[in-house]
Amino acid sequence: MAVFLFDELIFGPVRSRRLGVSLGINLLPTHKKICSFNCIYCECGWTNSHQALKNSLPRNEEFKTALEKKLIELQGTDLEPDSITFAGNGEPTLHPEFAAIVDTTLQLRNRYAPHALISVLSNGSMLHKTEIREALKMVDNNLLKLDGGREKTIRKINTPLKAFRLEEYIRLLQSFDGKLTIQSLFVRGTHKGEAIDNATSEELEAWLGLLHSIMPQHVMVYTIERSTPEEGLYKVPLEELEAIAEKVKADGFEVSVFG
């Protein structure tokens, strides 16, 4: 199993299949993954610990210096970013200064890259914290995970490392009043001897029902791109993803497909 970890606080820009020219932000350690989920498909590998070591995390002032330097370097070039993207080696909202860092990012974006959108790729596990929800509401693209329509499916695929109740998660997503993008990864295979497939008719019906509860402004349908920690997983073919997207579109949602 190959593990893909980001080795810088500010990385790229890279050409993202979802976000265009994306300048990445990794608020987590460069040598390990820190996450509240243990997704069986995560390109960063298995989550061995979800406890962030505060001494190894960048502080807001360090982040400000690094981002400002990079944005000045990119200003007016072909690599001026379309998106400033919080991603990295795990869940970005676990950083204890996440809200302050978002505020810093907004200020620097407005000064040096006013056309760039600020995006956050999140599993939504910290939405119970008011300051995290409010920070996410300030950014342009909240990309929040929903990899199934039933709690048992999400537990199989995302294996949360903390208490998780789907009903409560949906309620928190509803609090965004539609100002969010739902990102859903479809995958099939086996894990620990159990069949994995969140693209069956039954799963899709439940997932579509949740979309109607959330009413997101956009839905992203995609599948695995790099190697996964669980070796028994396979991509859902592009034609199936497109069929799923057609169902989403028929239900009145804007949708993008990435195979």
Q: How many residues are listed for the chain in this entry?
A: 259
3-state secondary structure of 48: coil
- Average pLDDT of the residues of the chain: 93
- Out of 9-13, 108-112, 173-177, 218-222, which region has the weakest mean confidence (pLDDT)? 9-13
**What per-residue confidence (pLDDT) applies to 58?**
92
Whether the per-residue pLDDT at 7 is higher than 80: the answer is no
For the whole model, what pTM was predicted?
0.92
Whether the per-residue pLDDT at 152 is higher than 90: the answer is yes
3-state secondary structure of 110: helix
CB 96 within 8 A of CB 57: yes
CB 206 within 8 A of CB 149: yes
Tens digits of per-residue pLDDT, 100-149? 999 999 999 999 999 999 999 999 999 999 999 999 999 999 999 999 99
Backbone angles phi, psi at 69, to 5 degrees: -60, -45
Q: What is the DSSP letter of 94?
A: G
| Domain extents in the chain | 10-258
Amino acid present at 87: A
What is the second-level CATH architecture of the domain 10-258?
Answer: Alpha-Beta Barrel (3.20)
Backbone angles phi, psi at 234, to 5 degrees: -135, 155
Exposure string over 70-102, b if 16+ CB within 10 A, otherwise e: bbeebeeeeebbbbbbbbbbbbbbbbebbbbbb
Mean pLDDT computed over 58-67 = 96
